[in-house]
Amino acid sequence: MRFFTRLLLSVLFCTCASAGAAPASEDGYDLWLRYRALPAAEAARLAPHARAIVAPATTSPMLDAAIGELQRGVGGWLGTAPARTDEVRAGAIVLAMPATRGATAAWFDGLGQEGYRVLRTRLEGQSVTVIAANTDRGLLYGSFAYLRGIATDGAQKAPDLRSTPRLPLRLLNHWDDLNRHVERGYAGASIWHWWNLPDILDQRYTDYARANASLGINGAVLNNVNAKPDILTAPFIAKAAALANVLRPYGIKVYLSVRWSTPLELKATATADPLDPAVAAWWRAKSDELYAAIPDFGGFLVKANSEGQPGPHDYHRSHAEGANMLARAVAPHGGIVMWRAFVYSEDKPTDRARQAFDQFTPLDGQFDKNVIVQVKNGPIDFQPREPVHPLFGAMPRTPLLMEFQITKEYLGFSTHLAYLGTMFEETLRTDLRPGIGAGGQAATVTRVLDGTLDHGQATGMAGVANIGTDRNWSGSHFDQANWYVFGRLAWNPEAGAEAIAREWAAQTFSRAPRVVDTVSAMMMASREAVVDYMTPLGLHHVMGTGHHHGPAPWVDNLARPDWNPVYYHRADKAGIGFDRTAHGKGGSGSAGQYAPALARLYEDPASTPENLLLWFHHLPWTYTTRSGRPLWDELVHRYDAGVTAVAAMQKQWDSLAPYIDPQRHADTAQRLKVQHREALWWRDASIAYFQSINGLPLPAGARAPAQSLDDYKALKFPYPPGNG
Ligand code: GCU
């Protein structure tokens, strides 16, 4: 079809849509890269500036990917994809590298290896849109940025963008098993079809890569941290290599999780002792084999001596000795080892929240250069709210990588709407040395990651993926936003959760201000709502055993004390909360693991942020909170606030029915209904339980739980997703 005929059709279509017809149904597969026909006025603005794509003559897979995406995007919006040419002409999009004829040197200033500049300018006398970068990777990211700009702004303004990533490692961690089960996955099976690989390549692999490249995500750990030895056998290396070939044109490197005892279990060695020369030789040879198959292989992720996984401690060797042995195997190839700090001991009676710090800080300075210690955002385990992990800022001679969980293991799976941008941002912005940076730059967690705090090496962020075979990738439409915000913050940790929510909403649903305002308002309030109805005031780990679905604060019979909710909330007749103040005051001492200025805040209930009160303090039920309400009344108030906030989200979403396509609107409405029911359940079961402990009357006006405590305790959930 000729361009103008198509344009006319799209004009007609868009006029109908704005005249009141409901938007056409969508299943969410396209994520935020939807490229639907633009309304006439916008198409008319864009068309004269997107007539062709001028690209360097030398081609590369990444350059082809960039051009392919520009053609897909502009083609979707205008009806005709701009052709590729090597001649500069008026109205073209020019992909420029420093060698491009007529290019201005200043375009490339400070862009490094990954940055880009997008601007409207003149080249060889013609008015063009330039996407400039020093590398084809930069051109790929610049092309996606150009498309995002139009998708969010409707081609209102001439593009003028410049960006470089703040962090070099922007990684997804897939907790995907080789049988396609996804640990803590709530979006179907693993997208990696290991059985069919390497011969059969699913289109999803390419679309996954496109989505990641659009955010700047540049690495994927393919398999679960609870790894099997099989991943390092020749057949699985060939499968991983096939995936690497699909992901490479989109700038994504492949990494693998490895099980410490692999050579022993594959019967190649008699031990897994890192200091045994045969063990080190096996890992060297295995690394050589991996790099022969995947020349740009990224490296290993290791969960060792954690939750029953084997590790160097089994041979009385330290984490550093273990990590360094692996690091030396991949170092000749430029690989890295990401060694997880998620450890807590089976036989130590000390507070679980302090154990990683106790084990790792003595090792600061002992790790090889290509080892990065990967630390969860908080000291327990991805709770709806945790204080920052005390290791950040405490290992100045060791590069630390942030681990966030995008999949919502503890925040309502993919049923509850909880935008994690605010949670990620809260961690990244935490000032590790409050007061000390006064007048200067605060000592934020971001600055640990970018290496400026202790003048170390810039690292990055890893996000435990929420991606699966569900048609919409993430289980719910709103969970796509958590993948999105992770990627955008990994590129720029200071980009702002709200700004990111708005750009996601505009691309995913509609640019209409009413939609963007309402959707982003829902998102911005959503995580706090979950905290309120699940774990207010610093409570944590009170979820159902194993699957972590629903409230179970009463559980006290699990093998290890620190698996039991009662261990964490410590409620008794007199009070509630975990005393983590100094030993001398009777606490576990974990508040003292923070730098002195932060530790001082956390030592005193009066200066502890109220949203972490019961994380750090055991307080009487009568303790006066900042609202003036006694602690018990405040707790009930928070549970109620959480439920009310979900009801408000339902109303907000209902109001958008005319603007959102029926399929995605109905799916989200159903989920919000379940969320409201489950928020009430959390509230009622928690209140029923704590009331059974403290024997206090409910605050005036508070509604009694709908059922008895025994009813809540009796609930069972066979076959929960993501577990086992
Ligand atoms: C949590 C999660 C496990 C996971 C572990 C980890 O405990 O429930 O499924 O294996 O974290 O991060 O290693």
Which residue's structure tokens are 């409405």?
669
Give, for 122, the enclosing helix (H) or strand (E).
strand 116-123
Q: Which residues are catalytic?
A: 307, 381, 409
Beta pairing, strands 299-302 & 336-340: parallel
Indicate which atom in ligand 1 lies nearest the CA of residue 464. 12
CATH class of 172-508: alpha beta
Is it true that 25-163 and 172-508 share their CATH fold?
A: no
Of ligand 1's listed atoms, the one at least distance from the Cα of 723 is 9
Report whether 220 contacts 212 (CB < 8 A).
yes
Residue ranges per structural domain of the chain: 25-163, 172-508
d(CA 497, CA 138): 24
Q: Which residues line ligand 1 (CB under 6 A)?
A: 183-184, 225-226, 303, 307, 342, 381, 409
Q: Which of 174, 176, 182, 184 to mutate to test the pocket of ligand 1 (most atoms within 8 A of CB)?
A: 184
pLDDT of res. 724: 78
Distance (Å, whole) CA 676 – CA 649: 9
Q: Which fold has domain 25-163?
A: Chitobiase; domain 2 (3.30.379)
- 41 φ, ψ to 5°? -65, -40
Helix-strand-coil percent breakdown of the chain, rounded to 5? 45, 10, 45
Rounded (10°) CA dihedral 167, 169, 174, 178: 180
Mutate to test the pocket of ligand 1, among 259, 381, 389 (most ligand atoms within 8 A of CB): 381
CB 688 within 8 A of CB 709: yes
> How far, in Å, is the centroid of ligand 1 from the Cα of 555?
19
Q: How far apart are the CA of 718 and the centre of ligand 1, in A?
A: 20
Amino acid letter, 361: T
Q: Which atom of ligand 1 is nearest to the CA of 225?
A: 13
- To the question of pTM greater than 0.85 for the whole model, the response is yes
- The CA distance from 468 to 75, in Å, is 28
Our CA angle for 635, 641, 645, nearest 5°, is 150
Q: Measure Cα distances from 299 to 236, 366, 643 in Å.
A: 15, 19, 44
Q: Looking at residue 57, what is its pLDDT? A: 80
Q: Which of 131, 154, 166 is nearest to 40 (CA)?
A: 154
Give mean pLDDT in consecutive 10-residue pieces for the chain, a chain of 724 residues.
44 43 92 97 97 92 98 98 95 97 97 98 97 98 98 95 98 98 98 98 98 99 98 98 98 98 98 98 98 98 96 98 98 98 84 96 98 98 98 97 98 98 98 82 96 93 98 98 99 98 98 98 99 98 97 95 95 98 94 97 98 98 98 98 98 98 98 98 98 98 98 97 92
Query: Which tokens hold the place of 301?
Result: 């992720």
